[in-house]
C-alpha cells in the first residue's frame, strides 16, 4: 500500500506568478479549502515545496 498525502489549498493563487497557478492546477486544486489526496512521492513533495505559502499538508 503506497503512502498518500492530503494537500489543502489555504490561500488564493490569484496574485501569484503564473508558475504557481500552474502548480496549483496540476495538483488538482480549484477552490479554497479543497483537499486532495496524492501519492507521497518526490514529484508531489516538490510541487508542495514550491508553493508552501498557498498549501497545507492535512493529517
Q: Is residue 59 pLDDT above 90, yes or no? A: no
Beta strands in the chain (DSSP E): 4-9, 35-39, 55-58
21-51 as b/e: b if 16+ CB within 10 A = eebbeebebeeeeeebebeeeeebeebbeeb
11-38 average pLDDT score: 98
What's the CATH number where 37 sits? 3.30.1390.20
**pLDDT tens-digit readout, 25-52:** 999 999 999 999 999 999 999 999 999 9
In the three-class reduction of DSSP (H, G, I as helix; E, B as strand; rest coil), residue 56 is classed as: strand
At 2 the pLDDT is: 82
What's the domain range around 38? 4-58
CA separation for the pair 1, 31 (Å, rounded): 29
Q: How many domains does the chain have?
A: 1
Q: Please, which pLDDT band fits residue 1 given cuts at 50, 70 and 90?
A: low
Amino acid at each position: 500500500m503506497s503512502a498518500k498525502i492530503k494537500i489543502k489549498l489555504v490561500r488564493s493563487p490569484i496574485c501569484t506568478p503564473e508558475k504557481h497557478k500552474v502548480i496549483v492546477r496540476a495538483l488538482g486544486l480549484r477552490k479554497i479549502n479543497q483537499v486532495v489526496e496524492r501519492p507521497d512521492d518526490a514529484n508531489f513533495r516538490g510541487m508542495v515545496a514550491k508553493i508552501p505559502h498557498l498549501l497545507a499538508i492535512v493529517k
